[in-house]
A and B are shown apart, each in its own frame.
Chain A
Amino acid sequence: MATHFTIEGLKAEIEGKEILKGINLEMKGGEIHAIMGPNGTGKSTLASALMGHPKYEVTEGSVTLNGEDVLEMAVDERARAGLFLAMQYPSEITGVTNSDFMRSAINARREEGQEISLIRFIRQMETKMKELDMNPEFAHRYLNEGFSGGEKKRNEILQMMMIEPNIVVLDEIDSGLDIDALKIVANGVNAMRSEDRGFLIITHYQRLLNYVKPDFVHVMMQGRIVKSGGPELAERLEAEGYDWVKEELGIEDETVGQEA
């Protein structure tokens, strides 16, 4: 089935403060969308609201994945429906090993009695870790505990590769990565490109987009998508910054809470 993800008029608030002011976005399987925008404009909030973070309250709008109402679902149901978010700041969990965690995530998608065999799981995990140039010992480390910034990002991509979701949201997956790691992660993403998988890549830099070429680029300001275009938009932002966009739209302060 062709993947189809739709966000319509999405508004969300945190602790009574409205951050998202009506987001519209449509994504199909095979497409790569990039979201750019200055700090504090609501990019991570969008990602969190889509995933169902308990602190964010959606007040208006709809989100559907293949016609199913995503906002009605609990966080784990959204994930099992095919949504994946590589987080800007992944949690650290002491005592839970990376491999136990990932096996639980895979088994959560299988019927009871149909759990993945240990040997098969280990083989799968080892193969993917190799692709990401991760030390095999990371399988036995506690989840993200003491991981460096870059190691955490790689671990997020590892999860994506193991879980094989349909809609992938990557929130600043490139921050904290050295140049080699950036290539490795980009290769990981490219290897996952497919007709039934859509990507929403939140980034500040053109760098990543050099490796993972987007079909659409959106600019977020004040909790809205204020401009959309093709890959050339990202290149212009990289070269000239955001001032020209603000000028064009008559925006003085782009952060959330400042109305145009």
Chain B
Amino acid sequence: MTTQTILPVNAEGLSQLSKQRQEPTWLTENRLKALELAASLELPKLEKMRIERWDIQNYGSSKESGSISSLAEVPASIQELVKDQESGSLIIQRNSGVIYTKLASELAEQGVIFTDLNTAIKEHEELVKAHLHTAVTADEHSVAALHAALWNGGIFLYIPKNVAVSMPLQAVLLTDDEEATFAPHILIVADTNSSVTYVDNYVSGESTKAVTHNGAVEIFAKSGAKVRYATIHQMGTNVTDLSYRRAVIDNDASMEWIVGEMNSGDTMSDTYTILKGNGSTSDSKIIAVGSGSQKLNYTTRANHFGKSSESQMITRAVMREEATAIINGITKIEKGATKSDGQQTEKVLMLSPKARGDANPILLIDEDDVKAGHAASVGQVNQEQIYYLMSRGISREVAESLIIYGFLAPVVSQIPLEGLQKQLQAVIEGKLGQ
């Protein structure tokens, strides 16, 4: 079956938009080329799910969002997320544009760049051009192509050589106008021997009209750099979330993904590290809760090119009600990536007879001198355990929640940022309705 992607904008409109934003010619051309690709390429192939049937055509059109000058003006829906952040480094994107940018002065002094992507293109053109769309490329499928054509707002973070940033930088990405395109692009470049932690939240407002989030994250960790990227997606039932996250890491660089998949709408996410350099390491932790009739497709990937590179991928998902989750882990070790080690685990806990879960661990190994392993499990809550807890006087509800948190705890407790751990815990509680 071929599925025609209905383009949300024509070439003329796109080109005009690009001009309005005063984008350089190469970028306008990139966008136009990507738009053409979007019309000709197929949708991505999802394991055991038909994305063709998802509601993924709701791009609206690019709309201006009014900037704000102080956090007192942020929409109520994100107040909690940004409180006490007046002096911290924070970017807020609302719908198609960034409305607030703040970089802590001590970081600015060290040469850290943290700004919306449009500004970055004007002020640091070469740096952006060298990386933009080189990890998630427009020619992969129609979703990536549409993203490259339409992306808006966005975040650019650059850490100079040898700079270690200890305070996490934060971003909040909010969609609360269903008529506005929501396609943020996150670009992070960590230069040689730098280190950084970046945390963001994807949230939605009150609207119940359908919105498609088509987002991409590209991370480049140069030699010896350490990047920790944490993200919590907590958008409502009206938002279909398509997220490609990709990191390319050089010699001795390390990448850490912490992903909370807490949306209430259908979600496709693909979290991928390319271990290009020798001695590079990647660690991903995905924690997911599904409810209602959500269709969820989560993939983690690690592709080893560098010698002695190590990857670890863990996904734990709890499925309630009629939620369906397909969870894929793909560890690929290329020929020549000797002494590499790739490990992955996917576990799904189903809380109701109508919930579905499927874990697909895949190892693709082209080199003999490596270690690789996987473990996967899918199961219901163990009634014997519920009985045991209840026999001590604990109610069924509390017993179930103890077991659910217990299932997630070994991963949640490994999250190195205490604040994030708490935040995630609260979102999980919300999603589990307790």
Query: What mask results when residues 48 to 83 of chain A are scored 1 for a CB within 8 Å of chain B, else 0?
Result: 000111100000000000000000001110111000
CB atoms of A159 and B392 under 8 A apart? yes
Complex: chain B residue closest to A53, CB-CB: B387
With both chains docked as a complex, state the minimum distance between the C-beta of A70 and any C-beta of chain B, in angstroms: 13
With both chains docked as a complex, state the minimum distance between the C-beta of B425 and any C-beta of chain A, in angstroms: 13
Residues 71 to 101 of chain A near chain B (Cβ within 8 Å): 74-76, 78-80, 84-85, 87, 90-91, 93-96, 100-101
Residues in A neighbouring B403, C-beta threshold 8 A: 93, 95-96
Query: What mask results when residues 223 to 252 of chain A are scored 1 for a CB within 8 Å of chain B, else 0?
Result: 000000000000000000000000000000
Residues in B neighbouring A54, C-beta threshold 8 A: 383, 387
Complex: chain A residue closest to B397, CB-CB: A76
CB atoms of A79 and B390 under 8 A apart? yes
Q: Give complex CA distance A246, B171 in Å.
A: 77
Query: What mask results when residues 385 to 421 of chain B are scored 1 for a CB within 8 Å of chain A, else 0?
Result: 1011111111110110011011111100000000000
Residues in B neighbouring A108, C-beta threshold 8 A: 392-395, 398
CB atoms of B385 and A74 under 8 A apart? no
CB atoms of A142 and B406 under 8 A apart? yes
Complex: chain A residue closest to B383, CB-CB: A54
Query: What mask results when residues 90 to 118 of chain A are scored 1 for a CB within 8 Å of chain B, else 0?
Result: 11011110001110110011000000000
Residues in B neighbouring A79, C-beta threshold 8 A: 390-394
CB atoms of A76 and B390 under 8 A apart? yes
For the complex, is A163 an interface residue (Cβ under 8 Å from B)?
yes
Q: Give complex CA distance A51, B406 in Å.
A: 24
CB atoms of A101 and B389 under 8 A apart? yes
Complex: chain A residue closest to B401, CB-CB: A104
Complex: chain A residue closest to B402, CB-CB: A96
Q: Enumerate chain A interface residues (CB-CB to B < 8 A).
A: 51-54, 74-76, 78-80, 84-85, 87, 90-91, 93-96, 100-102, 104-105, 108-109, 142, 159, 163
With beta carbons under 8 angstroms apart, the residue of B383, B393, B409, B410 that contacts A76 is B393
List 19 contacting pairs A-B, 8 Å CB cutoff, sorted by A: A54-B383, A74-B390, A78-B391, A79-B393, A80-B393, A84-B391, A87-B388, A90-B388, A93-B389, A93-B402, A94-B406, A95-B406, A95-B409, A101-B392, A105-B393, A108-B394, A108-B398, A109-B393, A142-B406
Residues in A neighbouring B406, C-beta threshold 8 A: 93-96, 142
For the complex, is B382 an interface residue (Cβ under 8 Å from A)?
yes
For the complex, is B109 an interface residue (Cβ under 8 Å from A)?
no
- Given the interface pairs A100-B402, A104-B402, the reply to whether A75 lies near B390 with Cβ below 8 Å is yes
Pick the most buried of B382, B385, B410: most chain A CB atoms within 10 A of its CB.
Answer: B385
Other than the known A95-B403, A108-B395, what 6 A-B pairs have Cβ atoms closer than 8 Å? A76-B394, A79-B392, A85-B391, A93-B403, A95-B406, A109-B393
Q: Give complex CA distance A159, B389 in Å.
A: 11
With both chains docked as a complex, state the minimum distance between the C-beta of A82 and any C-beta of chain B, in angstroms: 10
Query: What 4 pairs across the A-B complex have the smallest Cβ distances?
Result: A95-B406, A79-B393, A96-B406, A91-B388
CB atoms of B383 and A75 under 8 A apart? no
Residues in B neighbouring A87, C-beta threshold 8 A: 388, 391
Q: Give complex CA distance A78, B395 in Å.
A: 11
Complex: chain B residue closest to A89, CB-CB: B384
Residues in B neighbouring A51, C-beta threshold 8 A: 391
Pick the most buried of A76, A78, A105: most chain B CB atoms within 10 A of its CB.
Answer: A76
Q: Enumerate chain B interface residues (CB-CB to A < 8 A).
A: 382-385, 387-396, 398-399, 402-403, 405-410
With both chains docked as a complex, state the minimum distance between the C-beta of B352 and any C-beta of chain A, in angstroms: 17
Residues in A neighbouring B410, C-beta threshold 8 A: 94-95
Q: Tell me how many residue pairs across A and B have CB atoms closer than 8 Å.
A: 79
With both chains docked as a complex, state the minimum distance between the C-beta of B260 and any C-beta of chain A, in angstroms: 17
CB atoms of B407 and A76 under 8 A apart? no
Pick the most buried of A53, A74, A78: most chain B CB atoms within 10 A of its CB.
Answer: A53
Residues in B neighbouring A104, C-beta threshold 8 A: 389, 392, 394, 398, 402
Q: Give complex CA distance A87, B384 in Å.
A: 12
Q: Give complex CA distance A10, B243 in Å.
A: 59
- Given the interface pairs A79-B393, A109-B393, the reply to whether A95 lies near B387 with Cβ below 8 Å is no
Complex: chain A residue closest to B382, CB-CB: A91
Q: Give complex CA distance A75, B395 in Å.
A: 9
Q: Give complex CA distance A104, B402 in Å.
A: 9
With both chains docked as a complex, state the minimum distance between the C-beta of B388 and any C-beta of chain A, in angstroms: 4
- Given the interface pairs A94-B406, A95-B409, A100-B402, the reply to whether A105 lies near B392 with Cβ below 8 Å is yes
Complex: chain B residue closest to A92, CB-CB: B385
Complex: chain B residue closest to A162, CB-CB: B392
Q: Give complex CA distance A139, B385 in Å.
A: 19
With beta carbons under 8 angstroms apart, the residue of A74, A142, A163 that contacts B392 is A163
With both chains docked as a complex, state the minimum distance between the C-beta of B345 and any C-beta of chain A, in angstroms: 13
Complex: chain A residue closest to B395, CB-CB: A76
Residues in A neighbouring B409, C-beta threshold 8 A: 95-96
Q: Give complex CA distance A105, B382 in Å.
A: 19
Residues in A neighbouring B402, C-beta threshold 8 A: 93, 96, 100-101, 104
Residues in B neighbouring A96, C-beta threshold 8 A: 402-403, 405-406, 409
Q: Give complex CA distance A102, B393 in Å.
A: 10
Complex: chain B residue closest to A80, CB-CB: B393
With both chains docked as a complex, state the minimum distance between the C-beta of A257 and any C-beta of chain B, in angstroms: 24
Q: Give complex CA distance A142, B402 in Å.
A: 12
Complex: chain A residue closest to B316, CB-CB: A95
With both chains docked as a complex, state the minimum distance between the C-beta of B356 and any C-beta of chain A, in angstroms: 22
With both chains docked as a complex, state the minimum distance between the C-beta of B407 and any C-beta of chain A, in angstroms: 6
Residues in B neighbouring A101, C-beta threshold 8 A: 389, 392, 402
